[in-house]
């Protein structure tokens, strides 16, 4: 019986040590939970960077076409952004519900 109690005590002691170790590994300052959270943030930021790079390319293309005095682009910007129109044209405003 004494060895049975010792074996149970050793088992529970090892179990407690393992659980404490896992707790430390998972939840300490540099733990696995924080690592997973940071990886998720990195993925989100990489997606934002990718989206912003695409937007920058599109805007750079618009800037280049305006710098090169491409008439169609200048007219498009004047109409869309500034509400300008040609002489004799009527401006129609569409209101969506």
Quote the CA–CA distance of 29 and 26 in Å, as a whole number.
Answer: 9
Quick one: 53 and 18 in the same domain? no
pTM for the model: 0.53
Please identify which residue in the block is written with the tokens 């200048």: 74
According to DSSP, residue 69 is labeled T
Number of independent structural domains in the chain: 2
In a domain, 2, yes or no: yes
In a domain, 13, yes or no: yes
Quick one: 60 and 23 in the same domain? no
Q: Which domain, by its residues, includes 68?
A: 34-84
Report the residue count for the chain: 97
Tens place of pLDDT per residue across the chain (97 aa)? 567 888 888 888 889 999 888 888 777 777 777 888 899 999 999 999 999 999 999 999 888 888 888 888 888 888 888 878 778 888 777 888 8
In a domain, 17, yes or no: yes
Quick one: 4 and 19 in the same domain? yes
Quick one: 47 and 80 in the same domain? yes
């Amino acid at each position: 019986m004494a060895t049975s109690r010792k074996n149970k005590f050793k088992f529970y002691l090892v179990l407690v040590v393992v659980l404490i170790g896992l707790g430390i590994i998972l939840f300490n300052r540099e733990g696995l939970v924080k690592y997973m959270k940071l990886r998720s943030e990195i993925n989100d930021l990489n997606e934002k960077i990718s989206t912003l790079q695409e937007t920058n390319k599109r805007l750079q293309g618009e800037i280049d076409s305006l710098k090169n005095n491409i008439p169609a682009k200048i007219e498009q910007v004047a109409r869309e952004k500034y509400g300008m129109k040609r002489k004799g044209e009527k401006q129609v405003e569409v209101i969506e519900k």
